[in-house]
Structure 1
Amino acid sequence: MRVSISPRFCFNKPPWGERGFTLIEVLVAVSLLAILLTAVYGIFGGVNSAKLRLDRDSADYHLARVIFDRFGRELHGVYFRSGDQTTMFRGGVNDQDEPFLELTTTAVTLLSDTGSGISEVRYRLAPDQEAEDKSRQVLLRGERSRQSAAAPVDDRMMRLAPNVASLSLRFYTGGRWLEQWDARQSGLPQLVEVSLVVGQEEQQRIPFTTTFEIPDVSGQ
């Protein structure tokens, strides 16, 4: 007697639609997912880094523009009389090897004592005493109304820009550029070149340079 056995009893496999994933299929899927997530993370990381860099550069450009606007306004309003010891125009590097600029100008601000008239303005790039890294520098600015030559000098200066790495000035007259200038000896220069490097981190520093024309005030 022959006994027939149905094929469904010969193989212990579920129908194709009810089968699960094999270990290899799971590993391949996980690997592809990891690759995809890594690529997405890299894209977003790159976009975020570019945004941070753009924001930082924009802030540095804005800072340089503000500094140059202030320099330009005060240089264009320079006031100097060779026989008046209360007027001045000098700059370069001081005895502490710090870049500086000192001048009397009619472009006063609300920080001055009177808010009008003529003020003495001083700039100096000095070590930043408030920073943890003592190699960092800060651009300082002081302003006071013009006083008599015998009046005590107020050395207090405010922090104008803590993100300035270097400042240099050059003065042009008679076809040559000079690193130091004192109007009491040479009169006013024709041009003043101001160079800034903004950004304390060496890899992120941006140089800026501009030149200002000094008005002829000899006839005033």
Structure 2
Amino acid sequence: MEKLEIKYQKNSFHMRTPYGFTLIEVLIALALLTIIMGAVYTSFFSVNRALDRFDKVSLKYHEARTALDIMKREIEGALVKNPRSEDENKVSAGFVIKDRDILGISASSLELTSYSFRGNSLITVSYFVTMKNGNLSLIKHESPPVFKEKGYSLDFMEDIRGFSVETMFNNTWVKTWDTATTGKLPEIVRLSIEFDDNGKIVTLSEYAKPKVGTKL
């Protein structure tokens, strides 16, 4: 009887009691929990970074489309003669496209006088590209056609990869135009803005036709 009792006590030492877990089981549970939490943590931040990139790219598309739409409206209201000018033979408003580049990147400039789409007032508007902190920005300057020095400038769109303004001449797209030479507005204008979409250069374009007048 004594031998059987001793054997039972030895075996019972290795059995799990109904009151808790062994140290090995606790360590295994902690290890599994750590692995699961690490996977959840990594997935959460990966999704968060992806959403952040998506928001930035979506905002860039929205900014480009808005900028092109504003320029299109201004071109549609462009004119080459200021109706408020006393001298009917004097060209007091014009439409000028200049071909420029910055470090080999297209950076056209555009200047025109137009009826503001926000009202009936005349404005002289110019668009040009400049380098800021290593990035290209599209700048807009707006002023009354008589007092250009009283205008203001603003960052129209930041961090672009190119801006081009073209018009059709002899069935060919060209990047220069000056009403002082041509005596008329271009028949059609193509506006293009380039920007980065996660390492891929995207180009959005818009076409505009002046509607107010085409000749001096």
Query: Taking structure 1 as the reference length, what is the TM-score of the superposition?
Result: 0.76
Q: 2:57 aligns to what?
A: 57
Asked if residue 107 in structure 1 is aligned to residue 106 in structure 2, the reply is: no
**Larger RCO (alpha carbons 8 Å, 6+ apart):** 2
| Within-5 A mapping of 1:203-218 | 203=199, 206-215=202-211, 217-218=213-214
- Confirm or deny: 8 A CA contact 1:139 1:159 kept in the other structure: yes
Q: CA deviation at 1:194?
A: 1.1
> For residues 70 and 146 of structure 1, do their structure 2 counterparts lie closer, same or farther at Cα, with a shift above 3 Å needed?
same
Segment drifting more, 39-48 vs 152-161? 152-161
Question: Alignment partner of 2:142: what SS?
Answer: strand
Displacement of 1:157 in angstroms is 2.4
Aligned length: 202
Partner of 1:184: 180
Equivalent pair of 2:162/2:195 in contact (CA under 8 Å): yes
The aligned counterpart of 1:119 is: 123
1:204–1:98 Cα change, 3 Å: closer
> Are residues 88 and 60 of structure 1, via their aligned partners in 2, closer, same or farther at CA, if it must alter by over 3 Å?
same
Is the contact between residue 190 and residue 208 of structure 2 (CA under 8 Å) also seen in structure 1? Answer: yes
Runs of 4+ in 1 over 6 A off after TM superposition: none
Q: Return closer, same or farther for 1:77/1:8 CA change in 2, 3 Å cut-off.
A: farther
Q: Displacement of 1:205 after TM fit?
A: 5.3
The 5 Å alignment of 1:99-178 reads 99-107=108-116, 109=118, 116-128=120-132, 133=133, 135-147=134-146, 157-178=153-174
Normalization by structure 2: what TM-score? 0.77
- Deviation of 1:48 after TM superposition, in Å, equals 0.6
Which residue pairs with 1:112 in the alignment?
Answer: none
Report how far residue 105 of structure 1 moved: 0.5
Unaligned runs of 5+ in 2: 82-87
RMSD after superposition: 3.1
- Percent identity at matched positions? 22
Structure with greater strand percent: 2
Shift, 1:124, TM fit = 0.9
